[in-house]
Amino acid sequence: MQDQVSDYLEFLTAEKGFSANTRAAYQNDLTQLREFLEPRAGIGSEGWRSVTVALLSDYVVSLRDRGYAATTVARKIAALKSFFGFLLDEKVLPEDPSEQLTSPKVGRPLPKVLSLEEVQTILAQPSRRLRTGETLRDDAMLQMLYATGMRVTELVSLNVDSVNLDGRLVRCVGKGSKERILPIHQTALTSIDAYIEFGRSSILRSIDEKALFLNSRGQRLTRQGFWLILKNYAQRAGVETNITPHILRHSFATHMLRGGAPLRNVQELLGHASIATTQVYTHLTSDHVRDEYIKAHPRAKEAPQAS
């Protein structure tokens, strides 16, 4: 069981960009869960496949009996739900036992989002360096991620035949093995075309390799590898936010909504099963509308008159 926990913690670092402290908190939460589950019948031999919603409910009850605050219980439930979602995506489990598990209602933090100027500055970084196979790849990856809003796992899982340059489309496989066909705008398409034509061949080591984005050894780039590349360019751009690939996804969604895209369309592009997941971005656009209103309305900055 610990092997899967270790894989998940690596995922948190590579894809989510979690800090060492946050990763340690998740590790403690999952260790506590594992220590609760292992003495139960069947867990030792079958591992996580033996976990049921009833066992998880018992675990939640035990947390409440021990006097944990609602916010702490909610965090621990969020950690286990994220973990089981990861096991489902990695096909370790045939179904998610935590899907029906309820959590105490507490305030949900809004996702971090970059400004349009910050995104543009980061995306401009690869073209400012010497033109090589790696910089062409980096340019194509960053443009693709922000053009489509796909997850980094989906990005690094792309094969050469996933991209239809003539149709301006890319086919990606998301959570639950669900396929999405996403449009690519011309700026991103130009970068991807340049990488495929001139960059990839200089990195390629085997003609049998199907992966679109390759590392320096000519193999498929990993989530961790992409995160390090993104982090490097963010530092070069002077963006101080603790950058992660998911922040670019959040920024894509928020910028699309601010530009007038319907919520349902953004939901489809992101591959969200429920529109409720996408609606979190409407809070960010509401803040944007309010700020723009205050800046634009001729009386918004006027001090109230004394009565």
- Check which CATH number belongs to the domain holding 174 and give it: 1.10.443.10
The strand ranges marked E within the chain are 163-164, 169-173, 179-183
pLDDT of residue 20: 81
Domain match, 70 and 160 both: no
Last residue of a domain, one of 224, 241, 258: 241
Burial code (b: 16+ CB inside 10 Å, e: under 16) for 259-289 equals eeeebeebbebbbbeeeeebebbeebbeeee
Whose tokens are 């292992």? That residue is 38
Q: Say if residue 156 is in the same domain as residue 228.
A: yes
Q: What are phi and psi of 183, to 5 degrees?
A: -75, 155
Structural domain boundaries enclosing 79? 2-89
150 and 198 together in one domain:
yes
Whether 56 and 131 map to the same domain: the answer is no
CA 224/CA 16 separation, integer angstroms: 10
For residue 19, what is the domain's CATH number? Answer: 1.10.150
Residues 132 and 193 in one domain: yes
So what's the pLDDT on residue 15? 74
- In a 13 Å sphere around the CA of 61, the CA atoms on its Cβ side amount to 6
- For tokens 């260790």, the residue is 31
Domain tally for the chain?
2
Laid out side by side, the sheet with 163-164 consists of 163-164, 169-173, 179-183
Residues 6+ apart with CB under 8 A from 96: 84, 85, 87, 88
Identify which of 95, 200, 211 has the alpha carbon closest to the alpha carbon of residue 138: 200
In this structure, is residue 261 part of a structural domain? Answer: no
Residues 169, 178: Cα–Cα separation, whole Å? 16
Reference 270, options 148, 116, 103; nearest CA is: 148
Please give the model's pTM, rounded to 2 decimal places.
0.65
Residue 307: predicted pLDDT:
43
Q: CA–CA separation, 196 vs 12, rounded Å? A: 30
Look at the block and give the residue holding tokens 């990606």.
172
Other CB atoms within 10 A of residue 118 CB: 19
Q: Which two tokens stand for residue 1?
A: 């069981």
In a domain, 104, yes or no: no
The string of pLDDT tens digits covering residues 132-164 is: 999 999 999 999 999 999 999 999 999 999 999
C-alpha span between 200 and 216 (Å, rounded): 10
Place of tokens 């509308």: 289
Q: How far apart are CA 24 and CA 224, in angstroms?
A: 18
- State the pLDDT at residue 293: 55
What are the catalytic residues? 151, 175, 246, 249, 272, 281
Residue 292 lies in a domain: no
123 with 84, same domain: the answer is no
Q: Which residues of the chain have pLDDT under 50?
A: 306-307
276 falls within a domain? no
Q: What is the pLDDT of residues 118-137, one digit of tens each?
A: 999 999 999 999 999 999 99
What's the CA gap between 132 and 195, in Å, rounded?
9
- Alpha-carbon distance of 222 to 114, in angstroms, equals 24
pLDDT above 70 covers a percentage of the chain that reads 87
**Residue-level pLDDT at 74:** 86
- In the numeric block, the tokens 């004394």 are attached to 306
Do residues 85 and 121 share a domain? no
